[in-house]
Amino acid sequence: MKAFVYTRYGPPEVLQLRELERPAPGDREVLVKVHAVSVNAADWRVLMARPFLARLGNGLLRPRRQVLGADVAGTVEAVGKDVRGLRPGDAVLGDLARFGWGGFAEYACAPEEAWAAKPATLPFAEAAALPLAGVTALQGLRDAGRLRPGERVLIYGASGGVGTFAVQLARHLGAAVTAVCSASKLDLVRSLGADHVLDYGREDFTRSAERYDVILAANGYRPIRDYKRALAPGGRYVMAGGTTPQIFEALLLGPLVFAGSGKRMTALNASSNRKDLALLTDLFEAGKLRPVIDRRLPWSGLPDAVRYVAEGHARGKVVVEVAL
């Protein structure tokens, strides 16, 4: 099979298309022929080792896992002898981040628990856009943020992969949604159901009188004290991604800044599972959730897709179509 491999850390140019041996599924594993894979910020952060701590667990000098790609949609090719819920020919989607990655390839192999059934009405490209970003938004709002009906939530970075799902899921959970993004993307997030939209270039949400029960920061950077100031009493700030300064500030200063305030900060570590994937696909079938795809690129354009995502301007998700 062909796969995009990297043997050293660096920009997307280090990704090389190579011939690898097709994996054989173990007893509890499922081999999937990949139809589409989406690119996430996690891919380029690991690829470029930004921050440097991204090397931990993957090799300080050179990467041990040489095929990236977490979000996959495809067709089951083969199953191990102990797999009970899937069979060859089934259409599936999955998040492979917990299982060694491997989605930037023509075939991907992972334990059965990594995969969920793909509804017939959900195209492969949209299915590949769903897992990591969708589950991150869901767990950020529902679990870390404990968002309840009637509460006010602000989503910072609302036009990105996680943000576009978060706007829709917050509405589904019954919250009043304020979305923050750039001026060129206001119409997009408004179309997803945001009650209020703010252009971060012209309006500073931390300087207004409005206070929020939950703030989900999916992209961009604001000092952590700004988020704290914009929270209502008992409010919850959830960091679900962002720039390197935002990540380090939250991890190093967050506990100190929020101590004794009655407010709470969580650095989200989302973990995909079949139950949450099934919930997201159910919401899609009910017409309550739709993946937003900025660009669809051919298989040969995968390095370009990684480069575009790394620039930080994507509206929703970027998908690479591997096999049609």
Specify the CATH number for the domain of residue 93: 3.90.180.10
152/213 Cα distance (integer angstroms): 5
Q: What pTM does this model have? A: 0.94
Q: 180 and 75 share a domain?
A: no
276 located within any domain: no
Tell me the percentage of the chain whose pLDDT exceeds 70: 97
When pLDDT is averaged across residues 121-130 and rounded to a whole number, the result is 97
When pLDDT is averaged across residues 45-66 and rounded to a whole number, the result is 80
Structurally, the chain folds into a number of domains equal to 2
Residue 51 confidence (pLDDT) above 90: no
Is pLDDT larger for residue 247 or for residue 49?
49
Residue 83 confidence (pLDDT) above 70: yes
Residue 52 confidence (pLDDT) above 70: no
When pLDDT is averaged across residues 130-154 and rounded to a whole number, the result is 97
Could you tell me the pLDDT band of residue 267, with boundaries at 50, 70 and 90? confident
CA 288 to chain centre: 18
Tell me the percentage of the chain whose pLDDT exceeds 90: 77
180/256 Cα distance (integer angstroms): 26
Q: Smallest Cα–Cα separation from 145: which of 224, 231, 84?
A: 231
For residue 285, count other CB atoms closer than 10 A to its CB: 13
275 located within any domain: no
When pLDDT is averaged across residues 102-114 and rounded to a whole number, the result is 97
Q: 90 and 176 share a domain?
A: no
Q: 46 and 126 share a domain?
A: yes
What's the mean per-residue pLDDT of the chain?
Answer: 93
Could you tell me the pLDDT band of residue 243, with boundaries at 50, 70 and 90? low
Residue 324 confidence (pLDDT) above 70: no
Residue 241 confidence (pLDDT) above 80: no
Domain interval for residue 198: 132-267
pLDDT at 312: 86
